[in-house]
Structure formats: C-alpha cells, structure tokens
Amino acid sequence: MVPPPEIAFTQLLFGGIAIMLLAAGSVLVFLVTYQKRLLQQQLHLRAAEALHQQELLQAIIEAQEGERERIGQDLHDGIGATIATVKLLVNRLSSLADQPPPPDLLALIEELTASAVHDVRSISHSLYPAMLGRYGLAEAVQRLVNVYNEAGTLPIQLELEYARPLGLPQELALYRICQELIHNALKHATGATRLQVRLKQHGVGVTLVVEDDGCGFPDEKSAPLITGSGLRSIDVRVQMLKARLERQSAPGQGTRMVIELENPV
C-alpha cells in the first residue's frame, strides 16, 4: 500500500531535517576539536616562547657575570699588581732619607703609573664606551681598534662603511660583539699575523666581520670550549639583535666570524 503524499512528504522532511542536524553536529564537533587543537598549539607555542625567554635571560645573566669576572681579573692582575709595585717603589724612595732619588727608579715609577692610568682608561672604556653615545658606532669601533693597536699585540686592520647610525641599543650590542670577537682573536688565534675588522652597511642591513689568519678551531665541537663565556655572550647579543652569526674556521686556516643584521628597526 502506497502511503499518502502527505505522509511521504513528512517522512522526507524529517529525513532532511535529521540529515541537516547530523551535518550540523558533525560541523560543530569538527569546530570544537579544531579549536581545542588550536588552543593546545597556542599553549605549546607560548610555553616554548616562555622557555626560550627564560633561557635567553639566563644566558644574559651568565654573559654579564662572565664580563664582570673578566673585568675583576683585569683589575686584580693588571692594575692591582701595578699599583702594588708602585707602592713598593715609593716605600723604597722614602727609605732613602736625604739621598737624592735614583733617576732610573723615578723613571720606573712614572712608567708604571702611566701604565696603570692606561689600564684604567681601557677598563672604563670597556664598561661603557662614552664615544659610542657621543659619536656613534663607527667612531667607537675606530677607538677600540686604536686602543688594541697601541698595545701592539697583533696589528688590526679596520674597514668602515657605516654612514647611517642605528639605535643606541643596537649599536651598543654590535660594539660589544665586535669587542668580544677581537678579544677572542687576540687571545686564541695562535700564530696569527693579521686581524681584520670590517663594519659595512648594505641597503638596510649591517654586516660585521672579524677575521684572522691564526690557528683556527680544531673542530666545530671544540669551538665553544675554546671561547668559553665569550662565545655565549656573542650568541646572546646576536639573538637580541635577531641577527645571524656565521663562523668559518679550519685548523691552520684562521677564523672568520660574520654577523649579519637585516632590516634593523
């Protein structure tokens, strides 16, 4: 027996409604599941970002402590020892009573005093380069190279193409990186005869290169052990600048460190 048209239509209507409700339910379940997954991903990204920020903060603290330790050693081993020697020589002068002071002794005291003054200026400049705030990064790097060249440890060649200054925080970070790279090269580049420093702008980017012809790193794994906290300090500042650090080195072929800062704001 064929059902009346009204009943068939009603069955068809309810069937369509059921299908629509089922589809709507499926869409709702999909949206809820998608939102949960999206929320989980966001929470995971936030947790990873928080962990990265915590690690970066810890690295900054370690780098600062390493720099303070190095400054403390410079004060103790350098200036402290020099002043102690001067004190002994002055005591020797006082023991001469009415005798005229030996010229060679006075010359030695003058030389040691001048050395202590030079060391104080170098350390104060390393704490905060006043020239950076006054004249910018190019002049500060030029002054840094001049100070190292005065020491006569290893001749440093400097190339500057830096006409458009960046913000002071960025310039200070680049200056500290350059300072640490030069310090590491002078300390670890055994057998080096030259050290080149290049600071150049290209478009809206900045490139800093410090290159020597010394012994180079024995291998990739031992490089952090050689540079110690210095490399950690560089890595931290590179991350803060959102820049890129590239190290090129091989045994007996020197080391080339390149920092590229693109689109600085």
Is pLDDT at 224 greater than 60 in this prediction?
Answer: no
Work out the pLDDT band at 235, boundaries 50, 70, 90: confident
Looking at per-residue pLDDT, the higher value among 157 and 59 belongs to 157
- pLDDT over 70, % of the chain: 82
Per the prediction, the chain carries an average pLDDT of: 80
Q: Where are the domains of the chain?
A: 135-265
What are the two backbone dihedrals, phi and then psi, of residue 16, each rounded to the nearest 5 degrees? Answer: -65, -40
pTM exceeds 0.75 for this model: no
Q: What is the pLDDT, as a whole number, of residue 157?
A: 93
Helices 137-151 and 103-127 pack at an angle, to 10 degrees, of 150
Q: How confident is the model at residue 65 (pLDDT cuts 50, 70, 90)?
A: low
Residue 264 and residue 113: Cα distance in Å, rounded? 44
pLDDT in tens, 82-107: 888 888 888 877 777 677 777 888 88
Q: Poorest-confidence range of 32-46, 173-187, 221-235? A: 221-235
Task: Look at the alpha carbons of 108, 109, 114, 118 in this order and tell me if their dihedral is positive or negative.
Answer: positive
For the chain, counts of helices (H) and of strands (E): 8, 5
Residue type, 22: L
Of residues 118 and 241, more confidence is placed in 241
Mean pLDDT of 37-63: 74
Classified by CATH at the fold level, domain 135-265 comes out as Heat Shock Protein 90 (3.30.565)
Higher pLDDT, 241 or 9: 241
Length of the chain: 265
